[in-house]
Amino acid sequence: MNENVFRILAAAIFFTCIGISSYYRRKADKDTGEKIPRKVDGSAMMTAIKLGGLILWFSPLVYLINPVWMNWSKIGLPESIRWLGVGTGALCIFGIYWLFSSIGSGITPTSATRQEHKLVTSGPYRWIRHPLYTIGSSLFMAFGMMADNWFIAMLGALAFIGMAIRTPKEEFNLIEKFGDEYREYMKHTGRFFPRLGNR
């Protein structure tokens, strides 16, 4: 299979997801008129997020511009696995739209919540408390499969670990804001994956 086919599909999936995310994030800022301070997560975490984010977003772009530049991390995957990456990436488009349309103006760039935020328990939030971390990381791992590139896939896994480290602080903030409502919600949902045997 021509490498350009996978590049075109990877680009279409990647930029569609970015477009959905950017639209809903800008809309949330505009609708609420509230700017969330970046310092809420602490300077060490924000430095790690900025540095990691730069590498995370830059690597797929390097592949899309010229795959040869990423040959040092090529795996040699069979086409069937690369097509599995395409399918997974396509599912991520629907997942990203579903989660952003569900949380609406409640989305923030940090672990803080907006002043008028209401607890969202519909859409993917009915089963998972943090679907953005699960789906976002899955997108980068799918991109790694499409690109036949272990480094990009590894970045997706590392991003998930980084967000998992931040999640307890985020949940502490949510408990402070919603109290027993959030504690009850936690009993019926999984943090990143659905909890079996509930709902």
| 145 in a structural domain | yes
Say if 33 falls within a structural domain: no
* Backbone angle region of 2, left / alpha / beta, with phi > 0 → left and psi within -120 to 50 → alpha: beta
Q: What is the pLDDT of residue 45?
A: 61
Question: Domain residues for 182?
Answer: 3-23+41-188
For residue 116, tell me if it sits in a domain: yes
**Residue 178's domain is classified under what CATH number?**
1.20.120.1630
Degrees to nearest 5, angle at CA 131 with 140 and 41: 85
Quick check: is 121 in a domain? yes
Q: What is the pTM of this model?
A: 0.86
Three-point CA angle 97, 22, 147, nearest 5°: 75
Q: Is residue 34 part of a domain?
A: no
Q: How many domains does the chain have?
A: 1
- pLDDT value at residue 51: 75
Residue 82 lies in a domain: yes
Q: What is the mean pLDDT of each run of 10 residues along the chain (199 residues)?
A: 90 96 89 68 64 82 94 95 97 96 81 74 94 94 96 92 88 90 93 78
pLDDT of the residue at 104:
85
pLDDT of residue 115: 73
pLDDT for the residue 49: 63
Q: Is residue 56 assigned to a domain?
A: yes
| 106 falls within a domain | yes
